[in-house]
Amino acid sequence: MAPNWRGPWDARPLTTRHLSPRVWHSMQSHTRVPGGIRDMEARPAIRLSVVASLAALALLSGCSHKASPVASSSAKTALASPHAWPLYGLNAAHDARYKAPQGTVGEPVHWVFHVPEAVPKGMKKPAIKQTYVSITAVRDLVGIPIGASVVDGKVYVADDNGFLYALDGSDGHMLWKFNALNQIMTTPLVAGRGPKKLVYVGGGNSNFSYTQAVKFGHKGASIVRGTDISGIYAVHAATGKLAWVYHTKGEDMPTPAIDDGTLVFGNGDGHIYGLNAATGKFKWRVPIKSFVSMSSATVYHHLVIMGGTHPSALYAIDAKTGKLAWRTAPHAVFSSSMGDCAPAQSRGIVVTQFERKAKGHHRAKSVEIALDAKTGKILWQTTLGVGKVPPRNKDAVPMIVGGTIYTGSPVTATAYAVQLKTGKVLWHTPLKIKMKAAPSVTGSDVIFPVGNGAIFVLDRKTGKVLSKYMTHHGGFGPQNGVVMGDTYLIGSNFGWMYALPVKTLLGQGKTS
């Protein structure tokens, strides 16, 4: 039986580098551009001088935790949200939207939150490199790497600085924070009721130790990804205090799935685990040999499905028994791509994305693939296009609504709508900026966040670009947005979290 370290101790102690977060006010303005596309730009009402060093950032630690929304009101506005969040993207299809119950009245909220060491707004690339050495490095230190979850009016945000934050959804002020002692790249999951409601995250990093890295030169060798402290943490939703922790040998970067009281996760040590979600007690462990990087789990009935790398394959595990239901290995998968994408499932069809090599130097094909969720049989494969190989997180996460897959591609920098049943491309729209996050649907529109910090809104039926909103607080990689009522929430790789009225993205709402 695998070791299970659990303990009743409180949330981990803070370190001197983790300082008090603040919520920044911002104002928006938008202008018409040729072709009818609206181009909005977020602008702060209170400007701080550019921080030139990490020491200067530390001076902000004495600032108040109190926060207020962008558009002030006499009373708090409750953020529409569900009572649980069992999966990455809320559900198996990654359709992360929630409508307030009929008869309730709620207005969209508007605020911006940043973690303590977040890259200051407007900081140029030369200054970033001077302060943080490289843009990639700062993303790994302070970025919000994945989507937030929203439950009972609270927004749960995981950050690469090792902290899980709980924010008041009405105005963005921090309620508590928890230190996992390593990077957190999972979407926080939430389950349980009342005082037993827990928030779950995984801690771990993408590093390979020297002893593991050299194994890549040995065919068939099992490789463990992740260094330092790795584990699954459950904390009390009300207080942020630790309920239990289960430590693992490899990283725990991908988001688990909760199925009928069992928390299922793949990780960096070549196994898929099942734990009792309430207690953290070990239930079962299945060897798959592959390490799972950012392939967050989806579900079909009681089958939990995820992708792995080295070897590249998709796996389905029965959450009740811990038995392997099926394993499918598409041919000629390039690099780590099978383990980078979080698959989506709808109508018994699992969809994911991977790469194959293409002719030319550093070129790849972006491939969308569909499988029968029950058997793992490949139903279709569609090549979306050819382009440069992305540096990391080599695939875009799909989301499915009404029999249509909406996805992007970091290879082609293009947005797509694909028919779920056949794999036929219904439309494609070049955005010319790499995208990796799952899109979001609201009404007749689909929202695509992209790598330079822009948020595009496209027509769902035609793919026509309707608007572009610029944030200027970093960009969006695997970070997926969520739509709660009429509010869109997303975090950036520079450590900023946004709550934006959907009308603002479309340039239709008040901007101050």
Q: Tens of pLDDT along 383-415?
A: 999 999 987 767 999 999 999 999 999 999 999
Neighbours of 495 (CB within 10 A): 27
- Mean pLDDT, rounded, for 355-360: 93
**If you search the block for the tokens 């050819």, which residue do you land on?**
386
Query: Where are any strands of DSSP class E within 277-362?
Result: 282-287, 298-300, 303-308, 313-318, 324-328, 344-346, 349-357
CA distance 331 to 336: 13
Strand pairing category for 482-484 and 97-98: parallel
Question: Which position has the higher pLDDT, 195 or 390?
Answer: 195
Q: Which amino acid is at 384?
A: L
CA distance 2 to 275: 11
Question: Which position has the higher pLDDT, 465 or 128?
Answer: 465
Q: Tens of pLDDT along 477-500?
A: 888 899 999 999 999 999 999 999
Question: Which position has the higher pLDDT, 334 or 74?
Answer: 334
CA distance 188 to 147: 8
Q: Tell me, which fold does domain 22-100+108-505 have in CATH?
A: Methylamine Dehydrogenase; Chain H (2.130.10)
Q: Is residue 426 helix, strand or coil?
A: strand
pLDDT at 282: 98
- The closest alpha carbon to 294, from 488, 147, 470, belongs to 147
CA distance 130 to 144: 21
**If you search the block for the tokens 């402290």, which residue do you land on?**
229
Q: Is there a contact between 396 and 441 (Cβ–Cβ < 8 Å)?
A: no
pLDDT at 347 over 70: yes
119 Cα distance to chain centroid:
19
Strand pairing category for 298-300 and 303-308: antiparallel
- Mean pLDDT, rounded, for 4-22: 33
pLDDT at 400: 98
- Mean pLDDT, rounded, for 222-240: 96
pLDDT at 68: 38
Residues forming beta bridges with residue 291, ordered by sequence position? 309
pLDDT at 16: 31
pLDDT at 77: 78
Q: Is there a contact between 346 and 400 (Cβ–Cβ < 8 Å)?
A: yes
- Mean pLDDT, rounded, for 265-284: 97
- Mean pLDDT, rounded, for 158-180: 97
Q: Is there a contact between 259 and 272 (Cβ–Cβ < 8 Å)?
A: no
CA distance 182 to 8: 20
Domain ranges of the chain: 22-100+108-505
- Mean pLDDT, rounded, for 157-161: 96
CA distance 337 to 408: 14
pLDDT at 329 over 90: yes
pLDDT at 69: 52
- Mean pLDDT, rounded, for 82-107: 89
Q: Is there a contact between 286 and 323 (Cβ–Cβ < 8 Å)?
A: yes
Q: Is residue 342 helix, strand or coil?
A: coil
Q: Predicted confidence band at 217 (pLDDT cuts at 50, 70, 90)?
A: confident
Q: Predicted confidence band at 104 (pLDDT cuts at 50, 70, 90)?
A: low
Tokens, residue 455: 């948020």
pLDDT at 193 over 70: yes
- For all residues of the chain together, what is the average pLDDT? 85
CA distance 402 to 397: 17
pLDDT at 105: 59
pLDDT at 125: 83
Helices (H) and strands (E) in the chain, counts: 5, 36
CA distance 465 to 81: 28
Question: Which position has the higher pLDDT, 339 or 155?
Answer: 155
- Of the candidate ranges 27-31, 76-80, 256-260, 265-269, the one whose mean pLDDT is the lowest: 27-31
Of the chain, the percentage scoring pLDDT greater than 90 comes to 70
pLDDT at 392: 73
Q: Is there a contact between 48 and 120 (Cβ–Cβ < 8 Å)?
A: yes
CA distance 123 to 51: 8
From first CA to last CA, the distance across the chain in angstroms is: 58
